[in-house]
Amino acid sequence: MRQKKITTVVSVYNEELSLKHFYEVTVQVLENLEWDYEMVFVNDGSSDRSIDILRSFANINSKVKVVNFSRNFGHEAAMIAGIDYATGDGIVCMDADLQHPPQCIPDIIKKFEEGYEVVAMVRTQNTDAGLIKRITSGAFYKVLNLMSPIKFENNSSDFFAMTQNVAEVLRRDYREKVRYLRGYVQSVGFKKTTLEFKAAKREAGESKYNIRKLLKFSINTLCSFSDLPLKLGVYSGCVVALCGFILMIYTIIEKLVHNAPAGYSTIIVALCFMFAVTLIVIGIIGEYIAILFAEVKNRPIYIVREVLNDNSKENDCK
């Protein structure tokens, strides 16, 4: 029988300080497996020496494939590109900072051998995340699960695995320009399980996601998996109408009982409240229009400058 193969997909953006250690640790794990292996590194437009280090890996190890982007397209684009170029029976997506421990790969393979096709990796501990980030991350998943008809694993991460069958679905049908890849993997169906892992401290460098990027990512995710925000216009309109009716009754009673003129402050508060609701609803609609605009333009998710240890054409656009 043909020996099965596992592919690790690794997104790389300015990771020169941790790449060598990550490679050494991961190769040591992969070479002790019963499965054959392949490593797909996606250089997401790094401005440091990351691509030179990746070239050296490809030169000394024919099982290392390097996909080099023409510029920075983002972490989500890098992961989908790695999946596009992966040829293994099982595919593991992970980061290069060793917060996603390669030592979990044997356990993932066991799940594949048990018949599971999607493995969601769930953090039980993150020593590198601050209190605020942990709180906001937990709140994000609670809000997402509340708004979306699809339920997601709390504290799931960009560390996940799938079989080639699932990867083919992502290649063929999930080509949105605004993506939430870990959400797609959990929503496509198939037989799914979870594994827990402890996220260690970053090997080197710092997180590429700042507050602004995380906020944008969260908004795009909510808009991608739920249309509930669009319906807030109807709900907020009902609330404003109810408040206006109560205010009208109050004003009439005050006029009849106390012969009091309508208050200037009451009018200002009512106007501010209604305008605030209106602007919020317009902003929500704007977010959905921005996503639609990105899809209509139909620009490539990523552009490949070159691929090492692969027969694919250069300057590939997908």
* 292 lies in some domain: yes
* 104 lies in some domain: yes
3-state helix vs strand vs coil in the chain, percent to 5: 50, 20, 30
Based on the domain organization, do 268 and 210 belong to the same domain?
no
Angle between helices 264-297 and 228-258 (to 10 degrees): 170
Percent of the chain with pLDDT over 90: 32
- Given a contact cutoff of 8 angstroms between Cβ atoms, the answer to whether 121 and 101 are in contact is no
Distance of CA 311 to the CA centre of its chain: 29
CA distances from 40 to 47, 49, 54, 274 (A): 19, 18, 10, 53
- Residue entry with tokens 């300015």: 14
User: Given its phi and psi angles, is residue 259 left (phi above 0), alpha (psi -120 to 50 degrees) or beta?
Assistant: left
Based on the domain organization, do 114 and 17 belong to the same domain?
yes
pLDDT confidence tier of residue 112, bands split at 50, 70 and 90: very high
Top-ranked range on mean pLDDT: pick from 52-66, 213-227, 262-276? 52-66
Non-local (6+) Cβ contacts of 213 within 8 A are none
Average pLDDT over residues 105-124: 90
pLDDT confidence tier of residue 308, bands split at 50, 70 and 90: very high
* 69 lies in some domain: yes
Based on the domain organization, do 211 and 141 belong to the same domain?
yes
* 176 lies in some domain: yes
| 221 residue type, one letter | T
pLDDT confidence tier of residue 196, bands split at 50, 70 and 90: confident
Based on the domain organization, do 272 and 167 belong to the same domain?
no
230 has pLDDT over 80: no
Distance of CA 225 to the CA centre of its chain: 12
Based on the domain organization, do 98 and 172 belong to the same domain?
yes
Virtual torsion, Cα 79, 68, 209, 154, nearest 10 deg: 10
43 has pLDDT over 90: yes
Write down the pLDDT at residue 299. 76
Non-local (6+) Cβ contacts of 14 within 8 A are 46, 47, 48, 50, 205, 208
CA distance 140 to 292: 23
* 317 lies in some domain: no
- Residue entry with tokens 């497996």: 33
Based on the domain organization, do 98 and 238 belong to the same domain?
no
* 263 lies in some domain: yes
Average pLDDT over residues 38-50: 93
Based on the domain organization, do 13 and 133 belong to the same domain?
yes
* 134 lies in some domain: yes
Which two three-digit tokens encode residue 118?
Answer: 């999607």
Based on the domain organization, do 41 and 90 belong to the same domain?
yes
* 214 lies in some domain: yes
**What's the mean pLDDT when you consider all of the chain?**
78
Based on the domain organization, do 214 and 267 belong to the same domain?
no
CATH code assigned at 156? 3.90.550.10
Which DSSP helix (H) or strand (E) runs through 56? helix 50-60
Based on the domain organization, do 10 and 158 belong to the same domain?
yes
- Given a contact cutoff of 8 angstroms between Cβ atoms, the answer to whether 82 and 10 are in contact is yes
- Given a contact cutoff of 8 angstroms between Cβ atoms, the answer to whether 195 and 119 are in contact is yes
Based on the domain organization, do 103 and 124 belong to the same domain?
yes
Average pLDDT over residues 153-175: 83
Domain that holds residue 183: 5-226+300-308
154 DSSP assignment: T
Write down the pLDDT at residue 64. 94
Based on the domain organization, do 222 and 232 belong to the same domain?
no
Helix (H, G, I), strand (E, B) or coil at 302: coil
Helix (H, G, I), strand (E, B) or coil at 231: helix
Total domains in the fold of the chain: 2
